[in-house]
Amino acid sequence: MTNTSQEDEVRRAVPHTRRRFLTVSGAAMALALGTNLASGNTASADSKKLRSDPFTLGVASGDPLPTAVVLWTRLAPEIFDPLGGMPDKNYKVEWQVATDERFRNVVRAGSATAHPEYRHSVHVDARGLRPGREYFYRFRAGSYLSPTGRTKTAPESRDRLSKLRFGIASCQAYPDGYYTAYQHLVEEDLDVLLFLGDYIYENAVNTVGGDRFDTSAQVPDIFQAAPVTLDQYRLFYSLYKADPDLQAGHAALPWILTWDDHEVVDNYAGGVKGTVPVEDFLVQRANAYRAYWEHQPLRLEQLPSGPDAQLYRRFDFGDLMQVSVLDTRQYRNAQPRTITGEAQMSWLLDGLSESEARWNVIANQVMLAEQRTTLTNPPGLNVDAWDGFPEDRQRLFDGIVEREVEGVCVVTGDTHTNYANDLKLNFDDMNSRTVGVEFVGTSISSGRDGFDTSPQLELQLQANPHSKFENGQRGYVTFDVNRDEIRADYRVLPYVTRRGAPVETRTSFVSERAEPGLKAV
C-alpha cells in the first residue's frame, strides 16, 4: 500500500475518531504512516543476508485505538551485544496483520525500515483496522519470521459497550524472580493490559540472574553496573525482553504502558536525582527515555526529544471506559511542589469533565490515597507517592467533585503491595465523600517471593480505615467493567524465585458507579 492511499484512509477515519489522537501535523502523519523515522544517510543492507534469527526479543502491540494499533519488534540476533549483533545499516522489515492466526486473511501489510540509530527497533502504526476486533500480526526480515502476536483494537468510541475486561501489572525487577505471573495473565482473556511502571530496574544483575539463581543464564558482567548511557539502558531492555514469559505476555494482548522511576533511576523527581547536577541527570534521563521508547509499542508522538517525552495520553473504550494515563515522574518539581506539573493536571481535569464514559480510569504510578505508615501524630508518610504532594491530590479530588465526575477508578503500581482504597475527599474524616476508588496492584517480581501479610501491613490497615486490603504477595489484578459496576480480582502467586508457581484469587472487591466505595465480594 502506498503512503498516499494510507493517508487518504486515515483522513477518512479522522471524523470517526475522537479528539487528540489524529491531530498530528501532515508531516508527522506521513512519518507515522511510513513507519520510517528520521535517519542519517545510512546505507541499506539486504535483509536476506541476516545469518541468525533477529527476533530474539519477541513482538509486542500497544496503544489500541478503534482503527489502529502499534506493532513492535526489534532486530537483535545477539541480545548481549550493544549493537544487538546487527551491522550499522538499515534493514527492511515486512509486517502483516490478519484476522486469523494462520494469516489466511491478511487485511493490512507493509514494510518498515529498521534503523541502527534506533537499534533496529520497528514501530508500525497499523491503521485502517476495524473497531473492537481481534487481530494477529507478525514480521519478516529476510528469511526469518517473527513469532505471531495477538492484539485487539479498541471499540468504536461512541458505541454503547456493555462490558470490558482489563488487567494491571507493574514492577518486574529481573533479579528478584521469574515472570511466572505472565503465564497466568495470558490465560485471563483480557482486552488490554495497563502496565503502570518499573518495567526495568537499574539494579545490577549477577551471572545467575540474582534470586532467579539460574546457573544457565550466564548474564554478562556489563549488568553489574547501573545503566547511565544509552547503550547501557538498551542492554537492560535486551536482558528483560529476552525473558520468555514477558514475551508471551506481550504477544498475547495489547499493552498501554507508562513509566515510574526505575526506568531511569530510583526515586528521581523531574530533573533531580540526589546531588547529581541537573544537566548531567537530564542527559541520563534522555538516554533512559530514548531506550524506553525504542523498546515499547509506542507511537511517534511519544518519541522523546532529548530529555522530554509526551507519555501522558488518553484512550477510549467505547462509551464504557476512558483511560487517562499519567506520568508522575517527568514533571515533578519542588517549587511549586507538584507531582503532575500544571499542564498535566489541567489536561487530566479537563479530560475527566469532558468524558462521556461510564468509567474514568486513571492509570497512575504511585499511591494516590493517603497511607499512614505509623500510628503516631503526625503520621509517617511516603513522600515519594502523592502523600508528598497533598495539594495536587486535593486539587484532583476537588476537581472531581466540582465537575461532577463519576465512575472514578484509579489503578496504581509502585509499592510491590496490593491495596484497595476508598478515595476520601478528606482522609481524616471517614464520613467525608468517597470520590472514587483506588486499586493498587502488587509487583510481577519485585520484592521476591513476598508474604500474605505482616505486622507493618496490619498496622497500616489500622492506621488507614479507608484501606480495605493490604497484601504483600506477587501477581496482578484483573478488572471486569460493566455499565454499573467495576470488579477487581487480586490474583496472587505464592513464589517467584522458583519457576512454576500457580495463581489464585486472594480477594475481590466491587465498586458501584452510582455509589463509589469498596465492597468485599
Nearer to Fe ion by C-beta: 171 or 265?
Answer: 171
| Residue in the structure block whose three cell numbers are 489522537 | 21
Nearer to Fe ion by C-beta: 50 or 444?
Answer: 444
Residues that bind Fe ion (CB under 5 A): 171, 198, 446
SS3 of residue 53 by DSSP:
coil
Nearer to Fe ion by C-beta: 198 or 392?
Answer: 198
**Phi and psi angles of residue 14, each rounded to the nearest 5 degrees, phi first:** -55, -50
Min separation Cβ 114 and Fe ion, Å: 31
Q: What string of H, E and C letters represents the secondary structure of 265-322? A: CCCCECCECCCCCHHHHHHHHHHHHHHHHHCCCCCHHHCCECCECCCCEEEEECCCEE
Q: Which three cell numbers stand for residue 145?
A: 519470521
Min separation Cβ 414 and Fe ion, Å: 6
Nearer to Fe ion by C-beta: 180 or 322?
Answer: 180
Min separation Cβ 170 and Fe ion, Å: 7
Beta bridge partners of 505: 491
Beta bridge partners of 361: 323, 409
**Phi and psi angles of residue 253, each rounded to the nearest 5 degrees, phi first:** -165, 160
Min separation Cβ 201 and Fe ion, Å: 7
Q: DSSP class of residue 418?
A: E
Nearer to Fe ion by C-beta: 35 or 446?
Answer: 446
Nearer to Fe ion by C-beta: 115 or 241?
Answer: 241
| Residue in the structure block whose three cell numbers are 504477544 | 251
Nearest in space to 410 (alpha carbons), one of 518, 491, 292, 261:
518
Nearer to Fe ion by C-beta: 110 or 209?
Answer: 209
Please state, in angstroms and rounded to a whole number, the distance separating the CA atoms of residues 111 and 60: 17
What counts of helices (H) and strands (E) characterise the chain? 9, 22
Q: Where are the beta strands (DSSP E) in 231-296?
A: 255-257
Min separation Cβ 446 and Fe ion, Å: 5
Q: Count Cβ atoms below 10 Å from residue 51 Cβ, excluding itself.
A: 9
From first CA to last CA, the distance across the chain in angstroms is 51
Min separation Cβ 487 and Fe ion, Å: 25
Min separation Cβ 186 and Fe ion, Å: 22
Task: Write the single-letter amino acid at 103.
Answer: F
Nearer to Fe ion by C-beta: 60 or 171?
Answer: 171
Nearest in space to 261 (alpha carbons), one of 204, 339, 209:
339
Min separation Cβ 447 and Fe ion, Å: 8
Check if the beta carbon of residue 119 is closer than 8 Å to that of residue 294: yes
